[in-house]
Amino acid sequence: MAADAQTWQKVFDHEIGMREAIKSHNFHIDGPKLKALSNKSGLEQSVKLMLNMKGIRV
């Protein structure tokens, strides 16, 4: 997965969810998007975990 910094910032600021990020034109996935969307709850949990880590800044 790859996205530009603005897209990740919106996800981290809770302006958009992972579903919207994945569907955006600024988000790139090597492989099927449908599979990524089916695993979006895991992606959301990963983002939440990163936000709760000390020393992580966006």
Q: Is the pTM of this model over 0.75?
A: no
Domain boundaries, position 15: 2-52
Check whether 57 has a pLDDT greater than 70.
no
Q: Report the candidate in 17, 38, 37, 56 with the shortest Cα–Cα distance to residue 8.
A: 17
26 token code pair: 């600024």
**Separation of alpha carbons 25 and 21, rounded Å:** 8
Which helix (H) or strand (E) is 28 found in, with range? strand 27-28
Residue 33 lies in a domain: yes
Q: State CA 14 to chain mean position distance.
A: 10
Check whether 11 has a pLDDT greater than 80.
yes
- Name the band, by pLDDT with cuts 50, 70 and 90, for residue 55: low
Residue 26 lies in a domain: yes
Check whether 26 has a pLDDT greater than 80.
yes
Q: How far is CA 39 from CA 45, 53, 56, in A?
A: 10, 22, 24
Please count the structural domains in the chain.
1
Amino acid at 46: S
Residue 58 lies in a domain: no
